[in-house]
Chains A and B, each alone.
Chain A
Amino acid sequence: MAERSLTRRLIAGLVPLVPYLWLCVLFLVPFLIVLKISLSDPAVAQPPYRPVFDWSDISGFFGGLDFENFGLLVEDDLYFRATLSSVRIAAVSTLLLLLVGFPIAYGMARAPERSRSLLVALIILPFWTSFLIRIYAWIAILKPEGLLNQALIGLGLISTPLDILNTETAVYIGIVYAYLPFMVLPLYATLEKMDDTLLEAALDLGSTPWRSFWTITVPLAMPGIVAGSLLCFIPAVGEFVIPDLLGGSETLMIGRQLWSEFFSNRDWPLASAVAILLLIILVVPIVIYRDVEARRVEARP
């Protein structure tokens, strides 16, 4: 009996231990290596670059740090501009996503109850079809001889093709398209629970629809607005595929900078430093996001 309870306890102990160890080895340690490499000497660091580790010497690990890579990031204003431009593009995209996503989520929340789960499934479906392919589809639509220009010329709205591909506009279209489900779903979740009698009461008391929208619907939908915005803003800042395929050479974004620092310039320590920089930009929104999520979970009945 004692032996049986021992195996039992062993198995019970393994349940958290196995995924825990996996994440420590394949998530935490790699991350610490990035930190270490970002702080190592750029000159020695020729690929294939291997971090020099002396596991026995912890003080050496922290003592021999070199902030030169971060110095390079500060000196070269390319990274400053890339950071600023990433945050700006992500912020504008989030605003556009709100404008596009809110009416859709509102329409879904007003739809008859039996069709709502179908609408939710339809919103999720394209979100699982390849991200790369969905962005690829937009190249064929947006390029000068593409379908959009053909359609606009066919309708007689324009006479010369618009240059949309390889501009920031194309990046906005791509981000709004790819992230729409992330915005619609949290908005729908809060709008669906909204009590309609509040709107009715406002109308009875003589409020205009517009005013009731701003004073009732928007404040009640705030948790969804914040959650959706953060859910879109956070990944948009680090975006690589969309600016690379739709944005042309002039669109500057930090995720793309990291990619080219790594694959084109082959400066691994600098790429690591860019990764840390990117993470620092994202820490604040992620902390806010976790806070909002925690409060939402607590508020749930």
Chain B
Amino acid sequence: MNRRLSLFNVTSLVLGFAFLYLPILLLVIYSFNASRLVTVWGGFSTQWYGALFRNQALMEAAWVTLRIAFLSATIATVLGTLAALALTRYGRFPGRTLFTGMVYAPMVMPEVITGLSLLLFFVAIDLDRGFWTITLAHTTLTMCFVTVVVQARLMTFDRSLEEAAMDLGAPPLRTFFTVTLPLIAPSIVAGFLLAFTLSMDDLVIASFNAGPGATTLPIKIYSQVRLGLSPEVNAASAILIGIVTLGVIAATLLSKRSLLRNRSDAH
């Protein structure tokens, strides 16, 4: 049967997507507002973007956030890929149940608990809070998401390609780098981008683990929001939305390409 959209289906889709996108759209529109009042339109202006770039504290926080996101996403990608390989290729190894549990637990644990426990750990080992503690915390949280993304790709992976390479005399490590890695590369990149955006976005875990030396953009935005709405925060948000949108589009295109390749593998 040809599925056809009824009026009810169309209405619920339109309303649903309007609900999802209208607030974000309004935020971006009002970031170009000339008025100081966040909810009163006073004409088009880019002044808040100028003010944002002149705001030393916010720019510094943005720079710290980007560095942390890049570094933690890189480490998380390596660790997450290794964990995905371990879960799909190693069968039953000692402690596998604990390992699986630890891989999935950070995704369901409330962030306040993860943040608090990591902070107490850093205090216990006498590590000063700041750039590195946030990076370590974000790596731990985001590697789980990388694992899930890469694992999904490894599970649909055609093992005969690897076997063919090994039969032709390639050693395992070489097989991994010339056959396996290129084939799972799109999911690794998608995992990296996912880890990057999660780290850029995180407020709760970063707040627990931030010290005087390092404040991230979400922490800065959060403290300003508590004082009241500000047009500068609108501009900062609009830029963040832009960055994340680009990242997501890139990740979607990559995973789509890998999906297509997957399909042609199957044929």
Contacts and interface: CB of A to CB of B under 8 A. Distances in A.
Interface of A: 8, 11-12, 14-16, 18-20, 22-24, 26-31, 33-34, 37, 48-51, 53, 100, 103-104, 106-112, 117, 119, 121-126, 128-134, 136-141, 143, 145-147, 150, 177, 180, 184, 196-197, 200, 234-235, 237-241, 245, 255, 258-259, 262-263, 268, 271-272, 275, 278-279, 282, 286, 289-290
Contacts of B4: 110
Contact of A108 (B13, B24, B147, B197): B13
A32 to B, nearest CB: 9
For A53, A110, A141, A272, which residue has the most chain B Cβ atoms within 10 angstroms? A110
A103 B16 CA distance: 8
Nearest to B126: A50
Given A23-B103, A110-B5, A137-B24, A16 B222 contact: no
Contacts of B263: none
Given A132-B225, A138-B23, 14 more contacts: A15-B89, A15-B90, A19-B86, A22-B79, A103-B8, A103-B16, A106-B12, A111-B13, A130-B241, A137-B23, A140-B30, A141-B23, A235-B110, A282-B108
B207 to A, nearest CB: 8
Nearest to A4: B171
Interface residues of B, number: 85
Interface in B162-196: 171-173, 194
Nearest to A11: B173
Contact of A289 (B30, B108, B194): B108
A30 B109 CA distance: 13
B26 interface: yes
B248 interface: yes
Contact of B82 (A16, A140, A196): A16
B104 to A, nearest CB: 8
A286 B110 CA distance: 11
A28 B20 contact: no
A183 to B, nearest CB: 11
B21 A278 contact: no
A8 B170 CA distance: 13
Contact of B136 (A26, A33, A110, A134): A26
Contact of A34 (B86, B116, B222): B116
Interface stretch (B43-51, B53-61, B117-125): B117-125
Nearest to A268: B120
Contacts of B95: 20
A133 B241 contact: yes
Nearest to A180: B20
Given A27-B106, A146-B39, A107 B16 contact: yes
B8 A272 contact: no
